[in-house]
């Protein structure tokens, strides 16, 4: 590796470290998803055959489901301790930010834990 012409900062044998990848961005997202998928399977989740964005885990009396859409993850289940342990696992594996309770996602609006509104939008030209 060598410096580009016209760049004179540092010694002759020093190079710059990129903080963000500039090349192969599409491959990077595929690699991230592969690592994410492997981590979910290692934690005990099963990927749905009908919808590849849905993952489920059943332990004794607890059920946990998660939906993955691009870089958003919706986690739901009947046991809060299972959800918290999974979020802790994710935090140790990846850099994540917990946005709290779901209020809206795509065409879903969540008014309360028991109420979900689905909006259907018609595309007008």
The reported pTM is 0.64
Looking at residue 37, which CATH number applies to its domain? Answer: 3.30.310
Domain with 92, as residue range(s), is: 25-99
Q: Which residues contact 7 (CB under 8 A, 6 or more apart)?
A: 16
Specify the number of domains making up the chain.
Answer: 1
Give 116's pLDDT tier (boundaries 50, 70, 90): low
Whether residue 18 lies inside any domain: the answer is no
pLDDT in tens, 67-109: 887 777 888 888 888 888 888 998 888 888 887 777 776 666 6
pLDDT at 119 over 60: no
Per-residue pLDDT at 125:
46
Residue 64: CA atoms inside 13 Å, Cβ hemisphere, count? Answer: 20
What is the pLDDT at residue 56? Answer: 93
Helices (H), 1-125: 25-43, 80-93
Q: Could you give the CA distance from residue 76 to residue 102 in angstroms, rounded to a whole number? A: 10
Q: Is 71 inside a domain boundary?
A: yes
Asked if the model's pLDDT at residue 110 lies above 50, the reply is: yes
Residue 61 lies in a domain: yes
């Amino acid at each position: 590796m060598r410096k580009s012409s016209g760049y004179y900062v540092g010694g002759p044998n020093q190079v710059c470290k990129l903080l963000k990848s500039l090349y192969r961005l599409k491959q990077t997202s595929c690699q991230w998803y592969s690592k994410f998928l492997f981590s979910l399977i290692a934690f005990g989740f099963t990927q749905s055959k009908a919808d590849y964005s849905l993952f489920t885990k059943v332990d004794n009396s607890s059920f946990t489901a998660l939906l993955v859409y691009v870089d958003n993850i919706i986690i739901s289940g009947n046991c809060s301790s299972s959800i918290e342990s999974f979020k802790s696992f994710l935090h140790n594996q990846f850099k994540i930010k917990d946005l709290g309770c779901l209020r809206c996602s795509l065409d879903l609006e969540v008014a309360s834990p028991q109420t979900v509104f689905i909006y259907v939008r018609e595309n007008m030209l």
